[in-house]
Amino acid sequence: MFDATNFQPLLARRYTLEVRQQMAWYWQALVIALALLVGLLISAAILVVAGVPAGELLNEFVILTLFDAQSLRAVLFQAAPLIMVGLAGCVAFRARFWNLGLEGQMIWGAIGATAISLFEIGPPSMRLPLMLLSAVVCGLIWALAPVLLKLHLKVNEIISTLMLNYIALNFLLHLVYGDWKDPRDNFPYSPQYRVFERLPDVFDGLSLAIVLATLVAFLVLWFTNVSRAGLYLRFVDNSPGVARAVGVPVNRVILGTVLLSGALAGLAGFMITAGQEGRLTHSFYVGYGFSGILIAFLARNQPIAATVVALLVATLFVAGRSLQVFYQIPFSMVQLIQAILVICVASSEFFIRHRIRRIQGGQS
Amino acid sequence: MSLIASWIGNIPDFAVPFALAALGLIIIERSGVLALGAEGLMLVGAMSGIGASLMTDGSTVAALIMAMIAAAVVSQLFALMVLIMRINQVIAGLALVFFCQGLTGLCGTLMNWTSRPVSGLSDLSLWPLSELPVLGKLFIQDPVVYLTPIIFLLVVLVLNRTVLGLRLRAVGENPQAADAAGIPVLAYRCAAIAAGSALIGLAGAYISVLSTKMWLADMVGGRGWIAVALVIFARWSPWKALAGAVLFGCIEALIPQMAASGIRLPQYFVFMTPYAVTLGVMIWVAVASRDNSSQPGALGEPFIREERR
């Protein structure tokens, strides 16, 4: 009798791959948690090979960063721009737009904010809001070209946003090594912002940036889950053809969403320059573009989840900096850990969607 | 006049990495796998080339071979992600780039390979041609430059004139039909990823071992992404990709010449030109041709033979 299994390789004869009907959410959560654990174990192994004593790892990552008030403040401080880029990733991916230009948009946001400070536009009391506004507008403008090119000419946005990153980066270098260089010394950064141009602490060392970030997170939540545009966006994501047929302004929704993503990235640039550095530097953006994509991916484009993931990534950033200081581990370790986590979690999807089952019965 | 001659002489130096990387990408994408990871694999090739050169007391040939092997090995992680785990190929490609950026940054620093000079290869001059006026310097190049057209010729012959190439293209156009004809789809795709990545690794090693003659973190600087754009521009045809690589080589070779000739242009605007040109080329391709007939039919789609539902 004809038996299809005879034509399959040896292993497949007794084991088969099936598509699962559905997996309960708690099993899904368990699989993802296991994937994260595997990723962290691999990362820990790499760190040990790189020369960090195994016993110090737990100390460095968990105890020192989360149970120490000073480090916790550093994590929150670090989280604000990461929440912004994470949200920027979330909204762009909801519109099925691969916005890899987060770094370029951040750079323009920071340039926009610094321009207001440098040319002393507006009275001191209005300076910070003006800088914020300028950053948002600059980030948004830098996202305009790729989305228009994608909508009208179908130009691949992965390439176009990345190329615009390199252009923005070179423009930043042109400024900080050129006209905008602090005349007082020879380093590639702009003059220090004045006191009223920096994000103040609201209480006990907690920066205004994190308050602002939380506020924006709720606004984005409103945008994705409550607003009409958010509803359209889910419609477009599920079925662009049907959405177009029933009269959803698909192109305008995508355009608006991507511009919002650029604006959020610009805001992240503002938060770093006005909140952390206090000036425009030549490398402030390093690591944020990928982190934004990672946060959005791990949070499955959910704004609240993105905020939580951003806090974890901020922990990683802070721990990475102390590893750099104490063990001379380069900061690219942080990026490597992030990439390993993405690979592990993306692979876990396979186990959520499929199951490997042993075929019963006497076929062998 | 001597400026033009030295500009022309510099073109192959800049064109070869684009050409080899684009060729590697074409091999992978012809098998139906969307490869965005060139930037990362070039970094792996660049770093391991320098590493091998430093550890074997300057054997350049060993360094280039090591770079190819290293890139092929790392690319198997990508193969695992897209072929077995069926991860979205865009996500997998991006993850690979970020993984390689982190990995090379870490290894380069820990092994203390950064900014340590290597010897490279001495130039070969093709005698009668190297005496030509103006064009002469085009024929005083390192051996890899002369090897590049030969590699192109070999790959084109294999792709278009052999059963192996026919099967590879069949897997990329219609994996279901290829599978029905008895071609092991995943094995072909896996081999294509390894072979293409070896060429991409060679492209990276060319930059570090033969051009710059040292390793610097993130030294590929977007050339891998430009190669991805080049492949789209060339509509997956190797010869057009070679032409595009030469065009980008001309533009990049112009940058050091401008400084030497004393033209005072803001240097960072000059550095922008390759990226701006890439963007322009992408737009031009989108306006000029809207047909996707030369794109491999199954590009970006995972192959799933049959699933019991």
Measured between CA atoms, the residue of chain B closest to residue A290 is B98
Stretch B255-259: mean pLDDT, rounded?
A: 79
Residue A361's pLDDT is: 55
Residues B71-96, mean pLDDT to the nearest whole number: 93
| Cβ separation B228–A159 shorter than 8 A | yes
Q: State whether B308 and A16 contact (CB < 8 Å).
A: yes
* pLDDT tens sequence across A131-166: 999 999 999 999 999 999 999 988 889 999 999 999
Question: Residue B308's pLDDT is what?
Answer: 45
**CB < 8 Å to B283, chain A:** 149, 153, 155
Give percent of chain A with pLDDT exceeding 90: 44
Averaged pLDDT of chain B:
89
Q: Which residues, numbered 49 to 78 in chain A, qualify as contacts with chain B under a Cβ-Cβ cut-off of 8 Å?
A: 50-51
With an 8 Å Cβ cutoff, is A8 touching chain B?
A: no
More confident residue, B70 or B286: B70
A200 touching B, CB under 8 A? Answer: no
Paired tokens of A328: 């001379």
For residue B101, the chain A residues in CB contact (below 8 A) are 332, 335, 339
Test B222 with A17 for CB contact under 8 angstroms.
no
Under an 8 A CB cutoff, do B232 and A159 touch?
A: yes
pTM equals 0.90
Distance from A205 to chain B by nearest Cα, in Å?
32
Of B99, B110, B268, the CB nearest to A339: B99
CB contacts, 8 Å: A290 with chain B: 98
H/E run at residue A100: none
**Mean of per-residue pLDDT scores for chain A:** 86
- Residue A362's pLDDT is 47
Contact A270, A140 (CB under 8 A): no
At residue A73, the pLDDT reads: 82
DSSP-assigned letter for residue B293: T
pLDDT at A319 over 60: yes
pLDDT value, residue A14 = 65
CA distances from A70 to A160, A214, A277, B86 (A): 41, 20, 18, 43
Task: Write down the pLDDT at residue A364.
Answer: 43
Higher local confidence (pLDDT), B78 or B304: B78
Using a CB-CB distance cutoff of 8 angstroms, which residues of chain B are in contact with residue A156? 229, 232, 282
Residues 133-162 of A with CB under 8 A from B: 149, 153-156, 158-160, 162
Q: What is the Cα–Cα distance from A171 to A168, expressed in whole angstroms?
A: 5
Give the dihedral of Cα atoms B60, B66, B71, B73; nearest 10 deg: 180
Query: Is the Cα dihedral B57, B59, B65, B67 positive or negative?
Result: positive
Mutate to test the interface with A, among B25, B76, B98 (most CBs of A within 10 A): B98
CB-based burial label for B145 (10 Å; 0-12, 13-18, 19+): buried
In chain B, the domains with their CATH numbers are 2-115+142-288 (1.10.3470)
Chain B residues closer than 8 Å to A162 by CB: 222, 225
Q: Do B269 and A174 touch (CB under 8 A)?
A: yes
Question: Token pair of B295, please?
Answer: 């794109």
Which of A3 and A289 is assigned the larger pLDDT?
A: A289
Which amino acid belongs to residue A352? I
Arithmetic mean of pLDDT, B184-196: 95
CA distance B139 to chain A (A): 33
Query: Percent of chain B, pLDDT > 90?
Result: 61
Which of B110, B279, B307 lies at the smallest CB-CB distance from A50? B110
CA dihedral B298, B301, B303, B307 (to 10 degrees): -130
pLDDT for B182 beyond 80: yes
pLDDT tens by residue, A286-299: 889 989 999 999 89
Whether residue A309 contacts residue A299, with contact meaning beta carbons closer than 8 Å, is answered with yes
Q: How many CA atoms lie within 13 A of A48 on its CB side?
A: 11
Pairwise CA distance, residues A8 & B120, whole Å: 50
Q: Which of A101-115, B26-40, B287-301 has the lowest mean pLDDT?
A: B287-301
Query: How far are the Cα atoms of A6, A71, A306, A327, B246 from residue A60, in angstroms, in the given order?
Result: 55, 11, 24, 11, 50
The answer to whether residue A12 neighbours chain B at the CB level (below 8 Å) is no
- The closest CB to that of A50, out of B87, B106, B217, belongs to B106
Contacting residues of A for B75, CB less than 8 Å apart: none
Q: Which range, of A1-15, B39-53, B143-157, B187-201, averages the lowest pLDDT?
A: A1-15
Q: What pLDDT sits at residue A144? A: 95
What ipTM does the predicted assembly reach?
A: 0.90
* pLDDT at A303 > cutoff 70: yes
Query: pLDDT tens across A197-251, in order?
Result: 888 887 776 788 888 999 999 999 999 999 998 899 888 888 888 888 888 888 9
pLDDT for the residue numbered B292: 65
Tell me the C-alpha distance between A79 and B167, whole Å. Answer: 51
- Helix ranges (H only) for A177-249 are 208-225, 228-238, 240-245
| Burial profile A306-324: b = 16 or more Cβ within 10 angstroms, e = fewer | bbbbbbbbbbbbbbbebbe
Q: Above 50 in pLDDT, residue A7?
A: no
Q: Is A218 near chain B, with CB under 8 Å?
A: no
